Chains A and B, each alone.
Chain A
């Protein structure tokens, strides 16, 4: 397995501001994934981040709004730019020890964001 540590656990910000969410893995992982979960809803894949390359974004998510950095094999940050109340949700990073199909995804503790 892989342990993923996220911070902050919670954040409250004003509309129009930006915030960063950090994710640290306890071992080197090739891919990190960012998911968004609205209250009482499912998880939606936002993007895939590999070290040394641009993140790949899913439909509905853009790098201008949600820039992701992946400077090394244990670390990633997700930024929420120009935050709006509609961005209020929980953000999870996830990864697996091996980048391959059928591998279990493990999730960080999540960051609950509230935008006022």
Chain B
């Protein structure tokens, strides 16, 4: 069965540091993977996705993610982090062919100015 795991419920770091939010997945086929960000009181905003090809994908707001098939991961990265990056980040996997998205539990990121 498909699943997405975001092992870190909370991450705190200082402005200017590098951030990496972890995401691992379980899926029997080639995955379609997404990252979304949710600011407090707001809806989800699309950041980036991996479909195929280059394993490093770049997205909006200066974020990028690296797909690693060897360990079934799709970690989100940004350097340097800014206080405005403080939000909740969700990794998601699409059940290919059905447009059903499975979301991880999210990682709440706090960037201290």
Interface residues of A (CB under 8 A from B): 31, 33, 41-45, 48, 58, 92, 96, 99-110
Contact = CB atoms under 8 A, between A and B. Distances in A.
Contacts of A110: 42-43
Contact of B101 (A105, A108, A109): A105
Decide if the interface of chain A is mainly helix, strand, loop or mixed.
loop
Contacts of B42: 109-110
A106 B46 contact: yes
A44 B102 CA distance: 7
Nearest 5 A-B pairs (CB), nearest first?
A42-B103, A107-B44, A107-B43, A42-B105, A102-B51
A32 to B, nearest CB: 11
Contacts of A107: 36, 43-45
Contacts of B105: 41-42
B25 interface: no
Contacts of A42: 90, 103-106
A100 B90 contact: no
B100 A102 contact: no
A104 B106 contact: no
A103 B90 contact: no
Contacts of A106: 46
Contacts of A48: 99-100
B94 interface: yes
A45 B101 contact: yes
A57 B42 CA distance: 25
